[in-house]
Structure 1
Amino acid sequence: MKSDPSKRNPKHFYEFHKRHGHKTEDCHALRLEVADLLEQGHLTELLLEKGKQAYYRNREQGAPPPLSEPKRVVNFIAGGADINITEGLDINKVTYTSGVKFKRITTRSEKRDRALVEDCITFDKADANNMQFSHNDGLVITLCILDTNIKHFFVDQGSAANIINIRVIEEIKLTSNIIHKSVMLPRFNNSTKRTPGEIILPVVAGGVELQTAFSIMSSAIAYNMIVGHPWNHAMKAVPST
């Protein structure tokens, strides 16, 4: 049991683990294991008669029918009566023509990358053994910066910025490496924040060292460091919880 022993309910006893904390019938992991065994055709002799009827009825019905083809496709909306999509239109600093060019480059890159598919890392159900599902935890890990392991390192797939707490820089004694470059971070912690500077640090993950630029945050944040999707792309990594 992974929970803090001091916070477990002493009135509830889990027979399998021989520990206090919750009742056997309330164990979420056990329910998932039983459901998985039932899906494989085991334990059916333990079902009540009504449950057996429902189980075999669902097995006979088989897999649900595939989803129907979409009725329509929405490609791009540049709203407003005065806006016309024309050749060379500048949208978010990407022209329409360069966007088409980028699509062609991406297509060629995808064809080339198919040759590397054998080097891809894949996962199966065995990789999820001993994990507690379902959870809504963020991906918080420990990564190495120079000669220091930094804990509470949040991998945020929704962030376009890499952020570091000023106290981390002070702790690893790299304040002299701060670059005085201030930027605005909109919608950070439900407000707009201005950073006092940035710093470039080598982040080591999975044997790969990547020089990464971090915006410095002097106000209180919940994590020591945050890396966003640009770092994930540069690392060619797929975050998973």
Structure 2
Amino acid sequence: MNVISGGSDICGTSYSESKGNAKATKVEKPERPKKTMTLPKEADVLFNDEDWDNIQDPHHEGLIITLYVGNYFVRRILVDNGSSVNIILLDTLKRMKILESKIVSQYSVLVGFSGEANSTVGEIKLLVYIEGVNSTHKVYVIDELTSFNVILGRPWIHDMKAVP
């Protein structure tokens, strides 16, 4: 499994530069107030013993789900907490009959876990529906072959207040 992470081409500074700057400033952080959140009962996700039947090595498999994205039922969506961006394949958008004119041309370079660089075609805002929650997310469009139609990274995970 590859992990996508933004590099210096995206944010302007490298990880080591950011870490060095943080150490040099050493600013005391004020204590944050604790946030509490209660979810309605229908938002609970429960697992039973039958869910363990086909798992050979628990807790080592990727979280692959199916959701409504842009009003289409999309399969093979990887929820990847190692990815700093949300990604969709250009081919998936075409199969969803979303026009390429809806893609905002924004050239970016995404750097993978092994150091390989992939350029984006652009970005698009898509509606993602999950159990009563509709939310719009910025998704980078790539024209590459991957095993997944969509990769939902930390931006989506954090917006959903989820723990994969």
TM-score interval (norm. to shorter): 0.7 to 0.9
- 1:108-142 deviation digits (Å, cap 9, x = unpaired): 1x1x41xx458687778xx3311234343211111
Instruction: Give 1:142's match in structure 2, choosing from 66, 89, 109.
Output: 66
Identical positions, percent: 27
Higher helix residue share? 1
Name the CA distance, whole Å, in 2 between partners of 1:142 and 1:176: 26
Tell me, yes or no, if structure 1 residue 162 matches structure 2 residue 86: yes
Count how many residue pairs are aligned between Structure 1 and Structure 2.
Answer: 139
After the TM superposition, list the runs of 4 or more consecutive aligned residues in structure 1 that deviate by more than 4 angstroms: 117-124
Q: Rg: which structure is higher?
A: 1
TM-score, normalised by the number of residues in structure 1: 0.51
Name the CA distance, whole Å, in 1 between partners of 2:105 and 2:123: 7
TM-score, normalised by the number of residues in structure 2: 0.72
- Structure 1 residue 187: Cα displacement: 1.8
Assess, with a 3 A threshold, how the Cα gap between structure 1 residues 189 and 177 changes in structure 2: closer, same or farther: farther
Structure 2 residue ranges without an equivalent (≥5): 1-15
User: Are the counterparts in 1 of residues 71 and 127 from structure 2 also a CA contact under 8 Å?
Assistant: no
Name the CA distance, whole Å, in 2 between partners of 1:122 and 1:150: 22
- 1:221-240 deviation digits (Å, cap 9, x = unpaired): 1100000112111011122x
Name the CA distance, whole Å, in 2 between partners of 1:232 and 1:170: 25
Q: Which has the higher contact order (CA 8 A, sep 6+)?
A: 2
- Structure 1 residue 156: Cα displacement: 0.6
Assess, with a 3 A threshold, how the Cα gap between structure 1 residues 90 and 146 changes in structure 2: closer, same or farther: same
Tell me, yes or no, if structure 1 residue 212 matches structure 2 residue 137: yes
RMSD value over aligned CA atoms? 2.8
Higher strand residue share? 2
